[in-house]
Structures are given as structure tokens and as C-alpha cells.
Amino acid sequence: MKRSKSMIITFLAPCLILYFLLFLYPAVRAFYVSLFKWNGFTSDMKFVGLGNFRELFADRHFWSVVMANSFGIIVFGGLMTFTIAFFLSGMIASNPRGKKFMQGLIYIPSIINPVAVAILWSFIYNQQYGLLNGFLRIIGLGHIQPTWTAPDTLFWAILVAMVWMYSGFYFVILSSALERVPKDQIESAHLEGASEFRIFFQVKIPLIWDVLTTTIIYWCIMAVKEFSLLYAWGGGVDVPQEGARNLATYMYMTAFGRRVTIYRMGYSTAMGVVMLLLVVLIYLIITRVTKKESVQY
Amino acid sequence: MKRILVLVFAALLAAGSVFAGGQQEEAAAGNSIEYVSMWNAGEPQAIFMEEMAALFEAETGIKVEITFAGRDILTKIRSRLLMQDAPDLVDQDFSELSGALLRDDSVLVEPLNDFLYNEKGPEGQASMMDLFDENLMKLYAKDGNIYFFPYEFITSGFFYDKSLYAEYGLSAPTSWDEFISNNKTLTDAGIPALALDGNISFYNAYYYYWAVARTLGAGNLMAAASDKSGATWDDPGFLKAAEMVYELSAGGENLFQSGYAGSNYPAAQADWAMGKSGAVLCGTWIPSETKSQQDAGFDMGFFPFPEIDGGKGTIADVEAYLIGFAIPEGARNSAGAKEFMKFISKEAYADQLAKDTVNIAARKNSYYPDLLLEVKPYLDSAASFHVSYDGVMQGQPEWFANVFYPLDNDLVFGNITPEEFIAKIKADTIAYWKSK
């Protein structure tokens, strides 16, 4: 027994050391830095206590733009992504011809670099030569030529691109979970006269509940941390416009600037701490809300 | 096996420290300088710097080790400055350099007064300062010290398609009314008078900043940004400037290209270079940046942001956006860095810089590339200089990005009226300062 204990410690030690060095220490250090006014260029750090957090909670821009966008991505982006992923999974579950090819095709956007996605969708949205307005012209709606990426619609334009980029990934996970649902249960539901709608919500969803909960948590974490697509949208030559500012991009521009020389490491790190707490909170809420007995099959 | 691994590790460690130590010793001995550059490898300026480094080494025996770090250079050297392992020379535009390295709480660059005033010029001038306009050099001075050494001069104004203007019997406007009238002539003919990539906030910001510079003069936008009470915004000059911008916007005369609010850089400027719009308000880098897109025979002209009747600012007040060197505190070979700065300031090399990069050299009386010849008279007759964006971009960066940009974008796109703009910017400025 003694021998096995030391064996466990020996085998766990490398992982624990790495976890401590690469996660716990930086997290604690980040909280420490968030208590200082610091530009990051010198070791001269001025202790301000919870001043950065107080400022953050009083920062109108942070709440009305940054957090609003972050929650918008979580909620609206999540709804769109999961609706599309479920819809596509349903289509694939009906075993259409070329199923494998279609699965590959749906997954492709997930492996495209976000910078390339930003460029691609910028072309699609181009008001004069873009695919979208071109399509409107073809179907006789040439008089409607919206500026899709104007400030008032920029957030939604980016969100659509984001949903396009991630739907394939969630489709793969949900689709493989749905395929695991025993066919006899679905058949018996059919025999008892249940509609497809009822089968989906009362048979399939409960049977993949654990997978669904995990993917929702994963989406929320990803949505809070999303950076590349939003930052690349403006070409990276300027700070992101309001519609492209979420917690991650705002943190970056506050710490590093982009032409606009803000360089507030302490304040930015306070945002990082808020981000960490937000992720933990989301995890706790989702696991509590979605908690139910797992169904064995 | 274990012994071999230990020996290999020890050998690598020793080689590493010898190599690193060797480089440091070389720098300290004056045999090399380390220059971290804002340019990306392959850019005209990067090619120029590489050529200068080779010539400099041949003449002095001092090797210039260049790292092309790109525009994020300050982010990239930040950890090195923090570890007190500064390179000998860095470059960037002075607005970013001062915003990062010349802050109220810390000065991280060496003052260059002694070098500028006591060092002879490369062609025997009494001092290095004789190569430059002293007012220009003092724009970014702090507490009487000059910290930056320029090699490239940038200003902004309207670059226009001369052939297109001539086709409609137009010439460069000399007043705001003439400017509006010219633009209307073009839009009436179905040609967008102005090109703007609306997704770049600092391009949108040019309009209001310039309008304030014309109505109230330089220094006022900075004053308004810094005023915690917001009372400065009550000056009618700010409203007048907002009215000027609104007049151009989709809410006013709609003089920009269709869909400009969502135009992704560089779509609009590329269209302009292909003769599809009249003018673009931009920095003097635009001729170089659009060179490959310009149609054959594209004839480019320049005029400054027009004056307005009763305005306090005139076209003799010129924007100076300088690019150049700084020597970080703790540089090992500061003397070598200064020698290199002096070397590339030679008349022939300043001319070459302008020629190769299609830009304006910071040195007085340097060569002007053909595409920028029309800028020259305005610079030659400049009575005063002011920094780009009135210094707000580096002086009040957070206010600029979070308060000004969003409202300015709304104004430029015609989403809010001038009165709404003033009311909101005043309220948001007060709220911004209250949160600090």
C-alpha cells in the first residue's frame, strides 16, 4: 500500500507541477497584478488595491459594449449554433446520399483559420461587390443593398460568421451523440405515435443530455474567450470597432493598444480575473441548471 | 546514457551562455548595435534599412543586427525593457513611441539633446539639429528634452484624382464651400466624391480632428478630451466642426461612396486608386500604399483639409506625424546607435529613403517623390506644426478609443446629428472621467 502511494505521487507529480506552474501560479499572479496600476514596461507597480475592479464596474463602455457583446455571443451565438448543429445532425441522421461527403463539408469551416474567415466574410458582406448583396440583386431585390458591417449591424454580421465557423464542430459532436441513441427506442416511440418533434425533445435530447451539457459549457467558455475572428475583422490595423469588442479583444487593446497606446496591464489583468470568474460562474450555473440523473442505455 | 545526456545539456548551456555573452560583449565593445525595427521584412523601408546597415558596417566596421518586428514592436520589446535587456535602437511613429516610452510615470528612452545640439552634421553642419526644423523636433519633447530622431515625415490631407477633377472642370479647393461644391459636382455625376474605409476608426477620426483644427485650431481637441467637467465641449467651434463632418456624411450631402460605413480596409482606397472615386483623406503613405493598384496614368494631386470662414486654424498649420528612432534606456551601444542615426541622415540617404519608399524624408530640403510633389508647397510654407489627432491618440488613448471613436463613427456615418454628437460626447466624457 505504501509503495503504491509513492507510485501515485511519482506519476502525478509531473502533471501537478506543470498544472501549478502553468495554471495556478499565473492565475494567482494575475490576481496579484490586477491590484496594481502598471504599464508593463517597467517594474514600477503602484498598489491600488481593488481600484482596478472598482473602475471596471463603473466603466460604462465595459458593460454597455464589451460585456453586452460577450453575453450576446454566448446567448444568441449559442442558440444559432446549436439550432444549426441539431438541424444538420437531423439531416445527416436520415442517411442521405453522399453522407460522408456532406459531413466533411459541414465540418470544413471549423478548420479554416479565423483570419481567413474574417477576410472571406468581409468579401461576402461587401456592400458593392459582395456575394450577399449580389444575391439580393439576382432575386430582384437590388433596391435593398444593406451595409451589413455598419456599426449598428457589425456585431450581428460577425456573429453570423462565427456561427458559420463553429456550427460544423458542434454538429460533429452532437451528430455522433445522436447516432448513439438506440434505434429501438426511437422505433418504439414511432410505434406509439410520437411525432418527430416529440421524439427529438423527449427521447433523443434526454439520451444525449450529458454530451449536450458538456458542449454548452464548451461553447460558453469559447464564446467568452473568442478573440481571433473579432480581432482579425478590422484587419488588425486598428483597435476593434464596438461591434467587435468582447472581453478578450477589449482586454488585449487595453493591455497592448494598437496605435492607441493604452498600455494598462493592471486594469487589463483585472478584466482577465473577471473573465476567469465569469467562466467559473457559467460552469457552475450550467452544471446546476442542467443537473439531472444520467440516462443509461 | 544518463552521463551522456548530462554532458550534452552542460555543453548546450555553456555554448548558449558563451554565444549570448559574446553578443553582449560585442555590443558593449561597440562592434555591433541591435536594432529592432517597426517594419516587416520585405517592406521598402525594411529593404532600405538593410542596405543602410550594410553600408554602415562597411564604413565603420560596426555591425547592425536588425530584427524586423513589425508594427507591434512596442509590445514585442516590452518584456525586454522590463528585464532591462533593451535593444540599442528601436523605431516607430513618435505618437506610439511617446505613448509607450515617454509616459508621465516613466521615461524609458535616452534624451538626445546632446547629440542633436553638440554633434556635427553628416556633411559638416554645425549640429545635427541643422538638418531638421527645430519646431518639428520639439513637438514630442518632454521637460525640455528631445528623445526621438526622425527619418520619415508624414502629414495628412486629401489625395485626389486630378484627371477626374479635370474631367469635371474642378480644381483643388481652397475653402470649405468650394470643397463641398466640388464634391457635389462629382456625386451629381454619379461618382463618389470621397472614399473612406469606415471600419478603420482612425481614418474616420481624421475628419472631426481636422475640422476642429480648422474651426478652433490645434490643441483644442486635446483640451476637450482632458476636461473632466466636459464644459470645453460647449465651445461652438466643436459643434461647427461636427456640422462640417455631418454635412459630408450619409445624414447630410452623402458624399462618400455607397456603403462606406461598412467598407473594410483597403477596399475603398483601392477603388479610389483605380479611379472610382474623387478623393481620400489620408496620410502621405497612401501614394506608396496604393501604388500597385493605381491605374496607368493615374494622376494624383493633394490639397490640405480646407479652411473654413471664421475658423481659427489655417492651412499653414501642418500636421506632423513623424517616424524615427529612439534609444531605449540601458542600451549597450548607445554611441553606435547615434552613429547609425547620423549615418542614415546623410543627404544622399535621406533622398534615397524618399525615392525608394515613396515617402517624405524628415530631413530638410530632401528629395520629394513625384507622387508627393504637391505636398511640398504646404510643408515649405508651414507656419506651425501640430501632432496627429492633436496628440489625443497618445495623450488620452483610452478616451480616444472608448469615448471618441464610437461617437465619431456615428457622426461620420450620419447616424447622429451634430447636436446629438456634442451632447453625447460631453456626457460620455464626464462619465469617463468620473469612472477614473
**B221 and B362 fall within a common domain:** no
CB contact under 8 A, A151 and B75: no
| Average pLDDT rounded to a whole number, residues A246-266 | 92
Indicate the pTM of the whole model.
0.90
Total residues found in chain A within this entry: 297
pLDDT in tens, B78-136: 989 989 999 999 999 999 999 999 987 789 999 999 999 999 999 999 999 999 999 99
Confidence of residue A83 (pLDDT cuts 50, 70, 90): very high
- The CA-based angle B313-B317-B320, given to 5 degrees, is 135
DSSP B244-290: HHHHHSTTTT--BPTTGGGPPTTHHHHHHHTTSSSEEEEETTHHHHT
CA-based nearest distance B20→chain A, Å: 23
| Distance between A115 CA and the closest CA of chain B, angstroms | 14
Q: How confident is the model at residue A84 (pLDDT cuts 50, 70, 90)?
A: very high
- B428 contact residues in A (CB cutoff 8 A): 60
Domain boundary among B369, B388, B407: B388
* Mutate which: A41, A233, A254, vs B, most B CBs within 10 A: A41
Contact criterion met (CB < 8 Å) for B436 and A44 = no
Among A183, A262, A49, A247, CA closest to B75: A262
- Whether residues B380 and B397 share a domain: the answer is no
Residues of B in contact with A242 (CB under 8 A): 405-406, 409
Distance from the B263 Cα atom to the nearest Cα atom in chain A, whole angstroms: 7
Q: Is B150 on the interface with A (CB under 8 A)?
A: no
Q: Are B70 and A3 in contact (CB under 8 A)?
A: no
Based on the domain organization, do B297 and B272 belong to the same domain?
Answer: yes
Which range of residues forms the domain containing residue B237?
A: 156-319+390-435
Taken in order of first residue, the domains within chain A and their CATH numbers are 46-289 (1.10.3720.10)
Binned at pLDDT 50, 70 and 90, residue B296 comes out as confident
Q: How confident is the model at residue A234 (pLDDT cuts 50, 70, 90)?
A: confident
Percent of chain A with pLDDT over 70: 97
Task: Count the neighbouring beta carbons within 10 Å of the beta carbon of residue B404.
Answer: 27
Q: Do B295 and B168 sit in the same domain of this protein?
A: yes
pLDDT at A1: 54
* pLDDT for res B104: 75
For testing contact with chain A, the best of B402, B410, B429 (most A CBs within 10 A): B402
Do A151 and B410 count as a contact with CB atoms less than 8 A apart?
A: yes
Buried b (16+ CB within 10 A) or exposed e, B57-81: eeeeebbbbbebbebebbbbbbebb
Rounded Cα gap, residues B29 and B21, in angstroms: 12
| Same domain (yes/no): B378, B416 | no
- The gap from C-alpha B222 to its chain's centroid, in whole angstroms, comes to 17
- Same structural domain, B301 and B405: yes
Does B252 lie in the same domain as B138?
A: no
How far is it, in rounded angstroms, from Cα B85 to Cα B80?
5
CA distance B30 to A264: 35
- Tell if the CB–CB gap between A152 and B415 is shorter than 8 Å: yes
Among B21, B303, B301, CA closest to B166: B301
User: Residue B297: its pLDDT value, please?
Assistant: 83
Confidence of residue B19 (pLDDT cuts 50, 70, 90): very low
Q: How many domains does chain B have?
A: 2
Residues 6+ apart with CB under 8 A from B200: A234, A235, A237, A238, B265
**Mean per-residue pLDDT, A45-55:** 96
Same domain, B111 and B167: no
Is the pLDDT at A295 greater than 70, yes or no?
no
The pLDDT tens digits of the residues spanning B225-276 come to 999 999 999 999 999 999 999 999 999 999 999 999 999 999 999 999 999 9
- On whether both B103 and B200 belong to a single domain, the answer is no
B417: domain CATH number is 3.40.190.10
pLDDT at B105: 73
pLDDT band at B8 (very low <50, low <70, confident <90, very high): low
Reply yes or no on whether the pLDDT at B20 is more than 90: no
DSSP 3-state percent helix, strand, coil across chain B (nearest 5): 50, 15, 35
Instruction: Please give the grid coordinates belonging to residue B312.
Output: 481659427
Residues B325 and B274 in one domain: no
The chain B residue lying nearest A123, using CA atoms, is B264
Residue that wins the pLDDT comparison between A296 and B393: B393
Mean pLDDT (chain B, rounded): 93
Mean pLDDT of B19-27: 53
* pLDDT for residue B18: 45
Check whether residue B266 and residue B345 sit in a common domain. Answer: no
The residues near A267 (Cβ < 8 Å, ≥ 6 apart) are A37, A52, A55, A56, A254
Q: Quick check: A41 and B100 CB within 8 A?
A: yes
DSSP H or E stretch at residue B151: strand B149-154
Residues B310-341 pLDDT 10s: 999 999 999 999 999 999 999 999 999 999 99
